[in-house]
Amino acid sequence: MTAAIAACKSRLQNVIEGFALTAVFQSFPSFAAAALLLKLAGSRDLVGDPGVAIFVISASLIHALVAATLGPRFPSLCKTVYEPIFFDGRLSLSDKITDWRTQPTASLQLVTIVMMMSVLAVVFASMG
């Protein structure tokens, strides 16, 4: 089944999938947490307007673009921001996510993000 999917998938579709997965699973949570930290710190630059959403989305897209561009060229420098599984043309979209989730590093990333967002949510909620 996977071979049939890979045969139908174009190179462009594979790159777009990898870019989107990088942006959603690796970039977005980090920048959302950064925006929440800025809000908790009392920064007024991103508060009260669409600035927060613009910041998080644009930073996530730029981060994913840089990771997708430099990751294959410099794997030793980009090992924490570039995930080769996301750009594997032989895998379907769901297989890419499943294979990434089962890696110990990705599992640690996900647990760290969940714990960080949970702590930030509790702090934010307790501030009133």
Residue 127 CA neighbour count, 13 Å, CB half: 12
Q: Where are the domains of the chain?
A: 2-126
| 41-80: pLDDT as tens digits | 777 776 666 778 888 899 999 999 999 899 889 888 877 7
Query: CB within 8 A of 36, min separation 6: which ones?
Result: 117, 120, 124
Chain segment 14-35, per-residue pLDDT in tens: 999 999 999 999 889 888 888 8
Of 97, 80, 79, nearest in space to 20 by CA: 97
In the chain, pLDDT over 70 holds for what percent of residues? 90
Radius of gyration of the chain (CA): 17
**Kind and range of the H or E element at 26?**
none
Dihedral class, residue 74 (left if φ above 0, else alpha if ψ from -120 to 50, else beta): beta
